[in-house]
Amino acid sequence: MPPAYDFFDHDADIGIVGRGATLEAAFEAAAEAMFSIMADPATLGREAHVAFAFEEGDGELALVTWLNRLLAEARSNGLMLSAFKLERDGDRWQGEAWGTPWAPHTEGGVEVKGATLTMLSVKETGGQWEARCVVDV
């Protein structure tokens, strides 16, 4: 069984992969991959919570929108996120995430600026969903 999230090579940036039994689970794993670039998830709490909704009919663009909304929510609220929940009703998506306020001067990883459309792919193979794209760091 491959890991829930993983990375792939890109010259300038970093490729992320999320996998799961459902599309939503794959997106959640992709979010875990992205935030693990910025901080060690094991060091983060879950005392802070954000929730948001968006509409997107294109599954691939939905992945990019989901990841970028999480980045925006994290940065604008001074949070580092570590746990994710996504639900879909047609074109409407409801996202939630939990994390911890970012303490200044904490050892971090590398900031992700945004999720890109490069190597963007959302597909289901044999009952397993995989979501991938390159994130700009």
Tell me how many degrees the CA angle 89-93-94 measures, rounded to the nearest 5: 110
Q: Which is nearer to other proteins, 21 or 121 (CB)?
A: 121
Q: Three-class SS of residue 84?
A: strand
Range 17-56, binding other proteins (CB under 8 A)? 38-39
Q: What type of residue is 29? A: A
Q: If binding is defined by CB under 8 A, does position 80 make contact with other proteins?
A: yes
Q: If binding is defined by CB under 8 A, does position 83 make contact with other proteins?
A: no
- Helices 59-76 and 23-38: crossing angle, nearest 10°? 40
Contacts to other proteins by CB under 8 A:
7-14, 38-39, 61, 64-65, 68, 71-72, 75-76, 78, 80, 102, 104-111, 113-118, 120, 134, 136-137
